[in-house]
A = this chain, B = another copy of it.
Amino acid sequence: MVMKKNPSTGRKKTATTKIQTKSHLQVTFSKRRSGIFNKASELCTLCGVEVAMIVFSPGNKVFSFGHPKVETILDRFLSAPGSKKHQLLEAHRSIYNIHELNVHLTEILNQVEAEKKHGDLLEEMRRLNQREHWWEAPIRELGLHELEQLRASMEELKKNIIAVILNGGGKVDDEFLESKAAAFIIPNGHNLLY
């Protein structure tokens, strides 16, 4: 026998419009949300399918359900072929592009470094040559003095070249030159670069 303890209780019809009473809305939201999540879970176990669900509450909190995992489903969904969904996945791929770009950039930067060193070396030669403006005057007019200056410049240039190559730009004295004499053949200034 059924006892009607409280005739006023029980389910009532619900409107299809937004609930206005804030507290009422909160309660309804909680109940229905858990209900839907349960139904989603049932769908998973009953049909063996994958489901993801994301809900933002009226209080702007995030509720999510996912089987097996929300992220997994989202990955599958975003990687599915079609329209704008691809762009996030593309972005994901671009991480690797960035890595490649960085590697490329490093290579390029090394190249720049090398080119700069090379350029500096040659620039120094040119500067040393031009410092005395020896080539601006017709060569046939060079006197012994000028030639002597030129020779001295060349000696300095050689030392500087050695400094750049062996020493990274440090000072080069005769002792240092002697210590490296075995590696670079510099008997009387010949065969320094070749």
Contacts and interface: CB of A to CB of B under 8 A. Distances in A.
Contact of A19 (B39, B46, B140): B46
**Which secondary structure characterizes the binding site on chain A?**
helix
Contacts of A84: 71
A28 interface: yes
A45 B62 contact: no
A139 B130 contact: no
A126 B135 contact: no
Interface of A: 14, 16-19, 25, 28-29, 32-33, 35-36, 39-40, 42-43, 45-58, 62, 64, 71, 73-74, 76-78, 80, 84-85, 88, 91-92, 94-95, 97-98, 101-102, 104-105, 108-109, 111-112, 115-116, 118-119, 122-123, 125-126, 130, 135-140, 142, 144, 147-148, 150-151, 154, 188-194
30 contacts: A16-B45, A16-B46, A18-B46, A19-B46, A29-B43, A29-B47, A32-B42, A32-B43, A35-B39, A39-B39, A43-B55, A51-B53, A52-B53, A54-B74, A56-B73, A56-B76, A62-B77, A62-B80, A64-B77, A74-B78, A91-B95, A94-B94, A97-B98, A101-B105, A119-B122, A125-B125, A130-B194, A136-B190, A137-B190, A140-B147
